[in-house]
Chain A
Amino acid sequence: MRLGLVIDLDTCVGCHACAISCKEWNTSGTTGSLSDQNPYEKDPTGVFFNRVRSYEIGDYPHNKTVNFPMSCMQCEDAACVTVCPTGASYKRKSDGIVLIDQDKCMGCNLCAWACPYGSRELDRESGTMKKCTLCVDRIYDESLPEIDRQPSCVMTCPSSARHFGDFDDPNSNVSKLTRERNGDGLMNELGYNPTNQYLPPRLANNITIEKKKKNIVGQVKDWANELISR
C-alpha cells in the first residue's frame, strides 16, 4: 500500500479548515499535544501539520487565485528518514506513512532541514519534531464507521479538495483523479518521489467585456472627448 492524498488546487477555497481540523484531531492524537506559544498575545505561534498559502497566477484579467495547502508528502525516498541520526524518523513498509517516534527524537532539526516541503515542525514544549501522521490513529480505527476512516483534513474539507487513498491501486479514487486531471508531485527534481499529488487548477474561461454599440451622437461625443483629452 502507498497511502497518500490528492489535493485539488482547482477547488480549494483556502478556508484553512483542514489545518484547524488537523490540529484539533492530532493535538490529542498519538503525537500530541501540538503546543502553541502566545496563543492569545501579540505573536501567536505553534505547531501545525498543514499550512495553506495563497498564490495569484497570471495577470488581470487572466488571473486566478490558487490556494495551496501543504502537508507531509509521505515521500517514497524520504530524505528526512535518511538523515535522522536517532532512528526516530521512519517510513512504514506496510503503507508508506512517514512517522516520528516521539520517545526517540532528540530535536536536532536536521530532518526539518532535509524536507523541501516544510512539513516538519519542532514542538518547543516537548522538544521533539512533529509531522503529519496521515491520521494513522484514525484510518485504521475499526470502532469508527468505515466512511470516517479517513484523515481529519479530508473529512472536514468543505469543497472536497482533498482525497485520500492508496496510490498502489490503479483503480482507487486517488489514482484515477491523478490520471484524469494530470496530477503531479511537488519539486520532483529533488528526487524524493512525493506520494501526495496536486491537481492543477483548470484554466478558467476569460470573462469577455462586450462593448455596447452606441448611436451616432454617442460616437461623435466619444470622438470629441478623445480629441480633447489628447
Chain B
Amino acid sequence: MHPAFSIIFFTITSGLGYGLLFFSGLYVVLDRTGDITESLFSPLVVSSIIGLTLVALGILSSILHLANPKNAWRAFLRFRSSWLSREGVFALLTFPVVFAFIYTIIATETNSVTSKTTAIILMIISLLTVYSTGMIYACLKTIRAWNSPLVPTNYVLLGLLSGALTMFAILNYYNQQSELLLTLIMELLCLAFITKAIYYYFIGKPSELSIKTATGLSSRKVRLLHTGESSKNFLMREFGFDISVKKMLLLRFCSILLMVVMPTLCLITQPASFHFILIAVICNFFGLLLERWLFFAEAKHVVNLYYGREA
C-alpha cells in the first residue's frame, strides 16, 4: 500500500494524544486521598490540553488526506456499519469529555464521584477511539497483513506507550516522580515489542492466494502477459508500492531500536533527568513514524495478484 504521510501522521499523533488522555484519566481514578489537586493540578491540565491538541492535529491531518474534504462532515453518518465512521464519532465525542474532565479537576476535588466518573469515561473513549482506528485497517479482508486482531492491539499498545512516555515527561517537568507510571511504561515497552514481533511473524507467513486463485484459472500455469496499461493507473499507484527485503529489515530494526530499545535505555537509570526522558519521547515518536510507514509499505493488496505481483 502507498504510505501516505497524512495518514501516518494522523494515526501516530492521535494515538499519542489518546494515550496522554488515558493516563490523565488514570491519575484521577487512582487518586484516593484527594490531595492530588495540590501537586498534580497543573500537570494534569497540561497533559489533557496537549492530548486534545494532538488529537485535533491528527484529525486535521486525516482531513488533508481526503480528496473531497467538503463532505468530511458526512463521515459521522454510518456509525452502525463503518469503522471509519465510528472512529470519527468517538474522536468528536472526546472533545466535550475532555472539557468536562478539565472542568472537574479545576472546580471539584479529584476524589469526588463526578471527577472519577468523567475520568473513567475519558479513559474508555480514548481506548475506543484508538481501537476503532486500528479496526479501520483490520476489517479489510483484501489486505492480509492488516486483517488480524493484532493490528488494533498494536495500535492501542503503541498509543498507550507513547502517551505514557509523554505523561512521564510532563510529570517530570513539574518535578513529580511516579513509580507506578514508570512500571507501566516498562510493561508497555515489553508488550509493544512482543506484539510487534508476533505481528512480523504473522505477516511473514507465505500467502495462500496467488495469480491462479485470483483469476480462477487454477488448472494450469498462469502468468501475466500484459497489464493493458501504457503507464501507471490508480490501482498501481495506490496498491503497487514495493520495498526490498533488505530495506524492510533495516527499517524494522531501526523502528524497534527507536521505539522500544532507546526509551528503555533512557529510563533504566533512575532517577532519569528530564533531558533523558525527552530523548525517550522523541526517539519513540520517530520509531513510531518508521513503524507506521512500514505498516503501510509492507501491506500488500490482493489487486496486486492481477498485476502478476504478490499479495
In the complex, what residues of B have CB within 8 A of residue A82's CB?
Answer: 81-82
With contact pairs A47-B234, A108-B66, A108-B84 given, residues A65 and B225 touching in the complex (Cβ less than 8 Å): yes
Q: Which of A99-107, A140-148, A151-159, A216-224 contacts B (4 or more CB under 8 A)?
A: A99-107
A201 to chain B, nearest CB (A): 7
A186 to chain B, nearest CB (A): 6
In the complex, what residues of A have CB within 8 A of residue B139's CB?
Answer: 83
A113 to B142: give the CA distance in the assembly, Å.
7
B32 on the A face (CB < 8 A): no
Interface positions, chain A 115-159, Cβ under 8 Å from B, are 115-118, 121-122, 124, 126-128
Q: Can you list the 10 inter-chain pairs with the closest CB atoms, starting with the nearest?
A: A107-B67, A127-B68, A127-B67, A86-B74, A85-B85, A106-B71, A107-B68, A118-B303, A85-B84, A85-B75
A112 to B209: give the CA distance in the assembly, Å.
19
**A residues in contact (CB < 8 Å) with B:** 9, 14, 16, 42-48, 51-59, 62, 65-66, 68, 70, 79, 81-88, 103-110, 112-118, 121-122, 124, 126-128, 184, 186-187, 189-191, 198, 200-201
A82 to B140: give the CA distance in the assembly, Å.
10
B142 near A115: Cβ-Cβ < 8 Å: yes
A185 to chain B, nearest CB (A): 8
Nearest residue, chain A, Cβ from B227: A53
B214 on the A face (CB < 8 A): yes
In the complex, what residues of A have CB within 8 A of residue B232's CB?
Answer: 43, 45
A16 to chain B, nearest CB (A): 7
A56 near B72: Cβ-Cβ < 8 Å: no
B interface size (C-beta, 8 A): 57
In the complex, what residues of B have CB within 8 A of residue A127's CB?
Answer: 66-68
B120 to chain A, nearest CB (A): 28
B275 on the A face (CB < 8 A): no
Chain A binding surface SS class: loop
Nearest residue, chain B, Cβ from A113: B140
A105 to B139: give the CA distance in the assembly, Å.
20
A94 to B304: give the CA distance in the assembly, Å.
33
Nearest residue, chain B, Cβ from A70: B306
Task: Pull 25 A–B residue pairs with CB atoms less than 8 Å apart, ordered by A.
Answer: A43-B231, A45-B232, A45-B233, A54-B225, A55-B217, A55-B222, A57-B220, A68-B215, A83-B82, A83-B139, A86-B78, A105-B68, A106-B71, A106-B74, A108-B66, A109-B67, A113-B1, A115-B303, A116-B141, A116-B302, A117-B303, A122-B238, A186-B216, A190-B302, A200-B217
A194 to B223: give the CA distance in the assembly, Å.
23
B238 near A114: Cβ-Cβ < 8 Å: no
A128 near B221: Cβ-Cβ < 8 Å: no
With contact pairs A58-B221, A85-B88 given, residues A106 and B66 touching in the complex (Cβ less than 8 Å): yes
